[in-house]
Structure 1
Amino acid sequence: MNQNTNKTVLILGANSDVAKHCILQYTEKGFSIIAASRNTESLKEFVQVNNLNSTVMVFYFDSADFDSHEKFYNQLPTKPHIVVYAAGFLVDNEKALRDFKGTHQMMTVNYMGAVSILNIIAMDEANKNLERIIGLSSLSGVRGRKSNFVYGSTKAAFTTYLAGLRQELAQRNITVNVLVSGYINTKINVGLDLNKNLLMEPDYVARHLVNAGNSFTIVPNFKWKIIYLILKILPESLVAKLP
């Protein structure tokens, strides 16, 4: 139901499957959207197909081009009330171990690019609109496991950054959340051998993000909540036996 909030959501990495569902769900709540991504053509097509031209503006944003981030932020027609960082990049752990190019890209998109743009947004004290920043992280970052620790390390770093940012911005009454997700049925996971009983759909994950409350960590799905808690408390000797 449209609530006519007259508020703006900036979604960075808006071409991801989860981000697109966030766009749909935020617009249903009456928000205006600034959707930012490198692939603006795909976003514009998505906006056109879903008849969102009146509520969604598409901007070019490259998380890896740090030097462009301040200009990108300054050119926004409206400073956001909510910011969602949904950009992500993944390469297989074996490939990441042997080819630093893929590792570097994961570091850049999943962590360094996020810190670069979110620092700029968070430190703009002139933006009295800002109410919330949400980052899309992963259970891969909860504990280092031999199957995905390179990717997981970038998500762990992002989660830690958001935890500190939450403390930094609390004095300005700005909420920071991290959505710690398990397997999602998205294009980033195509070709991976994942347990289909644990796969979540993008719209389900997006609903948890869009309806974020005051708690820092959001873990969609009770099965993943249990896995998250187990991973947090498992002794290292048992974690080492996990795939």
Structure 2
Amino acid sequence: MNQNRDKNVLILGANSDVAKECIKQYVKKEFYVVAASRNIQSLKNFAEENKLEEKMTVLYFDSMEFESHQKFYNELVIKPHIVVYAAGFLVDNERALREFKGTQQMMATNYMGAVSILNIIATDLSNKNLERIVGLSSLSGVRGRKSNFVYGSTKAAFTTYLAGLRQELAVRNIKVNVLVIGYIRTKINEGLQLNEFLIMEPDYVAKFIVNAGSSFTIVPNFKWKIIYLILKFLPDSLVAKLP
């Protein structure tokens, strides 16, 4: 790792399509990127294809291996200025209802793993670099709906955690943002019947992450902002009629 970089960003779950676009955009802003994922070969191939080998480091990180998180953080050569938690896992709601293994993996990846590693990062008072933590959540977590409430509950929990973490870190002037995201054209949504009019591209979403400001909740795209507000304030009796 080039230790002369002024700033660096740690991306956890860096093998997602959105995370890879974030890597490109952070590099353009002259950040050094530490990209962490279970699939390190995919990230190495990505770095080679995009000629980023000198601008990023690839590390192994598994959000579900909670006992490894402290060691992972301790071994970072430089502690991060920005942390992006982009790890995510999704199974169909019907499957989640009947097979707890899928539910457990969603809970572990989308919430428990995030809390495990972000608690470690947030409580390291020796890291004077830390400026911002960004978490990727979902519109599915705004209200419980019968089509996706198991997955949505993990994202709702993550959003609530980040809201409290924001308050905890405010005294140290560390920003915390949550991206409340709708449909994206990514691997996780392959095979799903989605409205093309509402689908966002990974590079579009990545811009909102890389350029996050002071607002806690960030909802990319005006169409999804409208949906977010409708979901947030719709009476329960009407939410119950939604798919």
Q: Same fold (TM over 0.5)?
A: yes
5+ residue gaps, structure 1: none
Residue 155 of structure 1 corresponds to: 155
Residue 178 of structure 1 corresponds to: 178
* TM-score normalised per structure 2: 0.98
User: Secondary structure of 1:101's partner?
Assistant: helix
User: Secondary structure of 1:9's partner?
Assistant: strand
Distance 1:5 1:223 in 2: 38
Distance 1:165 1:125 in 2: 14
Distance 1:195 1:96 in 2: 23
Percent sequence identity over matched residues? 77
Residue 192 of structure 1 corresponds to: 192
Structure 2 letter corresponding to 1:208: F
* TM-score normalised per structure 1: 0.98
Pairwise CA distance, 1:176: 0.2
Distance 2:210 2:43 in 1: 19
Alignment of 1:161-240 (within 5 A): 161-240=161-240
Check conservation: 1:5, 1:29, Cα contact below 8 A: no
Distance 1:68 1:99 in 2: 26
Distance 1:44 1:78 in 2: 20
Pairwise CA distance, 1:177: 0.2
Distance 1:67 1:195 in 2: 40
Pairwise CA distance, 1:156: 0.0
Q: Which runs of 4+ in 1 moved over 4 A?
A: none
Distance 2:125 2:139 in 1: 32
Residue 70 of structure 2 corresponds to: 70
Pairwise CA distance, 1:5: 7.0
Distance 1:169 1:208 in 2: 21
Check conservation: 1:144, 1:152, Cα contact below 8 A: yes
Structure 1 residues 81-117: Cα deviation after superposition (integer angstroms, max 9, x where no partner): 0000000000000000000000000000000000000
User: Secondary structure of 2:43's partner?
Assistant: helix
Structure 1 residues 105-160: Cα deviation after superposition (integer angstroms, max 9, x where no partner): 00000000000000000000000000000000000000000000000000000000
Alignment of 1:97-176 (within 5 A): 97-176=97-176
> Over aligned residues, Cα RMSD in angstroms?
0.9
Structure 2 letter corresponding to 1:78: I
Check conservation: 1:70, 1:117, Cα contact below 8 A: yes
Pairwise CA distance, 1:6: 1.7
Residue 91 of structure 1 corresponds to: 91
Distance 1:136 1:55 in 2: 23
5+ residue gaps, structure 2: none
Give aligned pairs, total: 240
Distance 2:87 2:22 in 1: 13
Distance 2:155 2:36 in 1: 21
Structure 2 letter corresponding to 1:175: K
